[in-house]
Structure 1
């Protein structure tokens, strides 16, 4: 029997078929390595749940989920088969097998239907039945159709779509393996029937593969196929994890083939008519709870429109799209910026109408599964629980950790290991950051632990201890990035490894980072890497990496590479390249704080290079300003790039904001210092340039100026305001210049009125010169 995963219609057909046939064997598409633990699967869990499969070897790491809910045909086959006295077996390859993992998507979900691969057939059917999506087509043909003849229609549908598609190597390997189970079961069953429940895509192939001689009832019993085991040196297996409707929803990105699991649960429990009414009521309740318009008249209108749409479309009873379109028509009176999500393929996109969002959430449902207390768990779960108790981290309180204290550092590393593994429980608020000044304290606050059991089980694929698992996961991320990773990405992994205490991995990451520094052609990622390594080189008391020679070598090469990339840089898009400015900021910090580690680029050679860039008229404006700022920060402003030339560049309104952004990014403190006696400060010069601008020129330069002054924190902005007051011999609070009590919209209307009045006076030759 071919089925669509998570289809109530198929689940109902499986249930009826088992009760009528009373088969000897019920074979289900699922991981064969779970056959010895089917009793564990049927302990009495609260659905939905999933079988989590994992594999970890020297060359690859793979994970996969096999989700099951109450209306999954596979789940019904397991439970009804056991009730009917049948032998129940999974017959597919384990999730870690290369038939899954060698695919481009890694087969993270076993039950991701192959509909994208047989789109030609479904496109013809959608055109024939005038529906927008495969889901709407499926509902029309099967979910709301008369159950009589359902199996014949399913067979015709799957024969059509499979006949239009060529299976890949992974599909063929799986089908050969499943067929061997079918042949063995038929031989063992004697004269009794065997029911095979598999994804519809595989059904035609399995029928062909099992139609060969030797599969007839009464044949010599064949040996049951062996279950593949991981090769030597690799670890693999399966565990049960709680799952949720949100994880199963196609609108959230799940590739199950069936969206709206909450709606289909009602369809399974109550039927189409009751499911439509329940969805109407749930959507209105959600909208009212959020104080969004949802009147009783709108609810009545939604009911009427749903019934009318079902009749107009020839549906014997309301389909999901009838209900959703009826709700949208009744509740939404605005123009929509994007198509309704149930009329397109893909997840819900940002910016959707609030009524659409609440409708989708109501269709998803909030059900979350729960495992039976007797369910076996991986060793990591027990180890994390014991470590939390030992380290005093099992409570719900904010943690203030002293990283200079051995116990505080141990607790920090444990929390970072859980963070890297994605296990909820605590969120870090403050602590050492990439390239920041050394901080020896961390603050963590408790956060909701929703999904913690599932996250712990899934993290158990990487190791039995949190330090081992975190190291393995970071190593996997490094391998996954491959040679395409930039220096910034590698540096972020390095910082996480140091925070987790993964010393050996840190050395491997440093080696990889040194290579990527030599090959990276973008200053931005290099700047991120430099900031990270500089912070680690300086964090003496915390991580023990201060003055480490290997870190120093990486610093040296990163500074030299950034200068190599920015000197002679011409052209490019207009505007400010913030990542490039951050890279030069990291260079400045390295020159000021790590000069002993730098041999390729000393502060003296850096100042000379920056001076050349500052006077290069063909260099981008923000880079020229940053180069001048670097000279000032190093205290070595070269004469060729002196004040006069800097002022000349700043006087051009077209580049003033960009140039100033570069300058302020690297030399805020130097800019605010008083000028030597008898000289004019740069701030005074800039004030003169801005005040002489016409309105049009000023408005043209204003966005870039605002971006430039955003580099000043509030306290320093107040200092700028005070300097401007002093320059005008005015008394008052500088803070009042940073904010206004007037309504900004009122000020905008006043400015527009002034402009309109001026134009009107000019038209009649009554205006004064402006």
Structure 2
């Protein structure tokens, strides 16, 4: 009896109709729809977790738009979860929709998720990296059964190789996707695929993968139960790899023996949105298909799929300001068809259309092709789930807030600019900060390209399906976003290990506007600050605290208690910093320099805060800087930095700074220590290059010291000097070079001792100064200037 005759017999009532499919295969989806229309079963059984049977009616909701996924998670451990994704071109989704439209019962028959999740828990407890049994739709053929790594990754690869193809995707397109839904017997493709998979199972068996045997035993039991209930009107849609096992004659006792003693966990299930981009991932529970956007197009195109696809490509390229005409589309279609004929393919596939697009529309460049692959071949389609789907209370509150604030989840990453002076934008900011505190990274802060004021925020938003799991996990903290974020912040404060962690948490609480959490966070912060004696830890914690004080202006938050803690923390830093700077090696000295900069910025902000006692902090800090600048036991990089900060604040005159530099750069100072002082004074991004440009006395001191460094010591100081000056902008370095080269033995300005600095002129060059007057006149718009105006301008330019 031929395979077709056997299938016909089954359709007439000889047994269940087994429709072996490739998960997320549009050709399989078309074939399943045609087979169900022909067979007209009384019940449809689908590979998937039986706990989802109650969720099947939701698939008929008008607001349900694939791609979506069934999400199962352990009730006591929401982070332990599994997905069963379904796209609009998935055979399982087509079977579900057909059953609902024809009022035919549909059931899931794979191993229950309660066992699937329990297996993963056992592996974690045993410390192994065993693989969880993947749900339906996670591999192209629907299984991880064979022991061969090649077969486990892509069973169709073996069949493609046997057919002489080096690419399984191309083989599948030729034998399935390019076959019309109405060509011949609707059950013929399933018979052919069953025979091929039967040969593979005979060769590879189960590969020692016992979990496949367990899953298939459970499915056989469910098929038998359906046959008893509906007699012979049973259709089964499952991964093609399972079909030979479901056809296998076994006893009920043998199948039940395989299921005996399976571990269990209490499980909840729901529908969640999925994305095409997530379908293209091979890690975790991604389906691992390379081109979900292309597959969706093949399934949805009523006719002429190549022409319609290339028209989409042309539209995308035009939107990106590339010149693509109708003639390009026509020529690309012709080239794709020619390539298919040359390669012996029935119709152009993705590889032919891609080659045609590269040659005709992209002028041979792969750069536009990357955009096409990202936007079209993969795509950013995000499914939708109706409100009637079960969800944890936290998810419902989040959905309500998203709708009220008009923040729709999207799969495509986008930037969101917020003006915190606007009520709706401020509410959006609070929501995003609260979600980040809960570990739900829907949005990530980004640098603003516009204003840098505290009333501006920029976020990068992208919704990933895994965030639904994070929401379920965060549900243990509360039923609303506000209550959950408050409880999580309090728990994080109590469990924080370091002072910096608590201060960072206080900052996040203010950003998220969690007034009920602040008392606990502030109490823990005060306790940790009182016990921590490490000046480095205190210096790291102070900037975050002081930054938090600024949020009271824009967000209307009461920061009085925070200001008092910050002031006390600053006082402890002032007392402990000078002793902590003694006897440091080079690395520790560089780290301490960073702490000094951080504290200086924090004190500048704290001094402006409207709280009692803050006005004297600046004076106390300046006294600390003076101690650091004059103490020989302090590393040179810290001393130099202290002098520079005093100079910038106007607490040190130019002459005094030049005197200190002259002393440090004198022959009595070791070259390495002098180079470190220069690094602290004018190094890095501190604007030291411009300081040297505008104060030629300081430049002359550095130049004179550098030329006097002994040859044997120059090699030791060169790396530090290179780091110091290489951080300057190219224009600053060029100007400094011109200044040094300008004089040859004459000087400009005087040193602290009143002598001329070698390499610079003694006085201003009046002739060169007068040359800028026409430019200044043009900039100021002064066409007619009297003699006094010219004299005034000359004085300014001089």
TM class by smaller structure: 0.5 to 0.7
C-alpha displacement of 1:75: 0.5
Once the two structures are superposed, the pairs formed by residues 722-761 of structure 1 within 5 Å of their partners are: 730=769
CA distance in 2, matches of 1:156, 1:323: 34
Contact 1:158 / 1:203 at 8 angstroms: preserved in 2?
no
- In structure 2, distance between residues paired with 1:516 and 1:109: 50
The answer for the alignment partner of 1:417 in structure 2 is 434
Instruction: Give how far 1:89 is off.
Output: 1.9
CA distance in 2, matches of 1:129, 1:567: 74
Structure 2: distance between partners of 1:194 and 1:565 = 81
Partner of 2:661: 643
> Does residue 1:257 correspond to 2:275, yes or no?
no
Deviation string 1:581-614 (CA, Å, 9 cap, x unpaired) is 654421334567499999xx99877765676699
2:697 to 677, 680, 684: 684
TM-score, normalization by structure 1: 0.62
What pairs with 1:379-458 in structure 2 (closer than 5 Å)? 379=393, 383=397, 401=421, 413=430, 416-417=433-434, 442=455
Paired position in structure 2 for 1:313: 343
- Separation in 2, partners of 1:161, 1:528: 64
Distance 2:676 2:488 in 1: 46
Q: Any conservation in 1 of the 2:689–2:728 contact (CA below 8 Å)?
A: no
CA distance in 2, matches of 1:432, 1:555: 30
In the TM superposition, residue 283 of structure 1 has moved relative to its aligned partner by: 1.1
Aligned CA distance change for structure 1 residues 633 and 604 (closer, same or farther; 3 Å): same
Instruction: Give the superposition deviation at 1:467.
Output: 0.6
Deviations 1:350-376 (Å, cap 9, x if unpaired)? Answer: xxx024413542334565545557666
Corresponding position: 1:87 with 2:101: no
Contact 2:275 2:380 in 1 (8 A): yes
Contact between 2:134 and 2:285, CA under 8 Å: does it hold in 1?
A: no
Whole-Å Cα distance in 1 between the matches of residues 630 and 164 of structure 2?
68
Matches of 2:137 and 2:773, distance apart in 1: 64
1:521-532 to structure 2, matched below 5 A, reads 530-532=542-544
Corresponding position of 1:276 = 306
CA contact (8 A) 2:82 2:135 kept: yes
Indicate if the aligned counterparts of 1:18 and 1:84 stay in contact, CA closer than 8 A: no
Q: Please state how far the C-alpha of 1:7 moved relative to its aligned partner.
A: 1.0
CA distance in 2, matches of 1:130, 1:474: 60
- Of 507-516 and 537-546, more deviation after overlay is shown by 507-516
Distance in structure 2 (CA, Å) of the matches to 1:733 and 1:278: 65
* 2:686 alignment partner, SS class: helix
Alignment partner, residue 155 of structure 1: 197
The alignment covers a number of residue pairs equal to 657
| Change beyond 3 A, Cα 1:35–1:557 | farther
1:187 to 225, 228, 231: 225
**Does the aligned pair in 2 maintain the 1:527–1:580 contact within 8 Å?**
no
2: CA distance, partners of 1:410 / 1:315: 56
Which string of whole-angstrom CA distances, capped at 9 and with x for unpartnered residues, describes residues 622-663 of structure 1? x67545545767969999993225557999999899555547
**1:547-562 equivalences in 2 (<5 Å):** 547=562
Equivalent positions of 1:527-546 (< 5 A) are 530-536=542-548, 542-544=557-559, 546=561
Cross-structure match for 2:598: 586
**How far apart, CA to CA, are the structure 2 residues paired with 1:455 and 1:389?**
17
The match for 1:40 is 58
Match of 1:704 among 717, 724, 727: 727
Q: Is the 8 A contact 2:504 2:545 kept in 1?
A: no
1:57, 1:555 → 2: CA distance? 46
> Aligned partners of 1:237 and 1:57: how far apart in 2?
10
Instruction: Indicate yes or no: 2:68 matched with 1:50.
Output: yes
Determine which of 579, 584, 588 is the counterpart of 1:568: 584
What does residue 6 of structure 2 align with?
none
- For residue 268 of structure 1, report the CA deviation from its aligned partner: 1.8
CA contact (8 A) 2:28 2:91 kept: yes
Map 1:64-213 → 2, pairs under 5 A = 65-83=83-101, 86-90=104-108, 91-94=110-113, 97-99=117-119, 111-113=137-139, 119-121=149-151, 125=158, 135-136=169-170, 138-140=172-174, 142-144=176-178, 148=189, 149-152=191-194, 155=197, 159=201, 167=209, 172=211, 176=214, 179-180=217-218, 182-190=220-228, 191-192=231-232, 194-199=234-239, 211-213=250-252
Unaligned runs of 5+ in 1: 231-235, 337-352, 673-679, 711-723, 741-770
**Structure 1 residue 16, shift from structure 2 partner:** 4.1
Contact (CA 8 Å) 1:309, 1:322: kept in 2 or not?
Answer: yes
Alpha-carbon distance between aligned partners in 1 of 2:375 and 2:403, rounded to the nearest angstrom:
37
Residues of 1 paired with 2:300 and 2:427: CA distance? 51
- Report if aligned partners of 2:277, 2:380 keep a CA contact under 8 Å in 1: yes
Q: Contact conserved, 2:20 with 2:237, CA < 8 A, in 1?
A: yes
| Residues in 1 aligned to 2:164 and 2:701: alpha-carbon distance in whole angstroms | 68
Whole-angstrom CA distance in 1 between matches of 2:578 and 2:70: 45
* Contact 1:244–1:366 (Cα < 8 Å) also in 2: yes
The secondary structure found in structure 2 opposite 1:267 is helix
Alignment partner, residue 372 of structure 2: 358
More off after superposition, 296-305 vs 537-546: 537-546
Q: Is the 8 A contact 2:486 2:516 kept in 1?
A: no
1:274: how far off? 2.4
Counterpart CA distance in 1 for 2:331 and 2:377 is 19
Alignment of 1:225-244 (within 5 A): 229-230=266-267, 236-241=268-273, 243-244=274-275
Between 364-373 and 304-313, the greater mean CA deviation after superposition: 364-373
> What is the match of residue 754 of structure 1?
none
Give me the whole-angstrom Cα distance separating, in 2, the residues matched to 1:657 and 1:335. 49
CA contact (8 A) 2:503 2:545 kept: yes
Query: Cα–Cα, structure 1 residues 562 and 256, in superposed 2: closer, same or farther, change >3 Å?
Result: farther
- For the pair 1:465 / 2:480, whether they are aligned, the reply is yes
Give TM-score scaled by structure 2 length.
0.60
- Call closer, same or farther: CA 1:428–1:385 in 2, change over 3 Å: farther
- Displacement after TM superposition at 1:325 (Å): 2.2
SS at match of 1:542: coil
Report the alpha carbon displacement of residue 165 of structure 1 after superposing the two structures with TM. Answer: 6.3
Q: What SS does the aligned partner of 2:306 have?
A: helix
Alignment of 1:496 with 2:508, yes or no, is yes
Are 1:328 and 1:356, in contact at CA under 8 Å, matched by a contact in 2?
no
Distance 2:271 2:703 in 1: 67
Q: 1:289 to 1:561 in 2, by over 3 A?
A: same
Give the corresponding residue for 2:793.
none
- Unaligned 5+ segments in structure 2 are 1-18, 181-187, 409-415, 608-612, 708-717, 734-759, 780-798
The question of 1:30 aligning with 2:51 is answered: no
CA distance in 1, matches of 2:465, 2:773: 54
User: 1:567 touches 1:613 (CA, 8 Å); kept in 2?
Assistant: no
SS class of match (1:324): helix
Q: Secondary structure at the match of 1:546?
A: helix
Tell me, yes or no, if the aligned pair for 1:161 and 1:201 is still in contact at 8 Å. Answer: no
In structure 2, relative to structure 1, the CA distance for the partners of 1:275 and 1:466 (3 Å cut) is same
TM-aligned CA deviation for residue 423 of structure 1 = 6.7
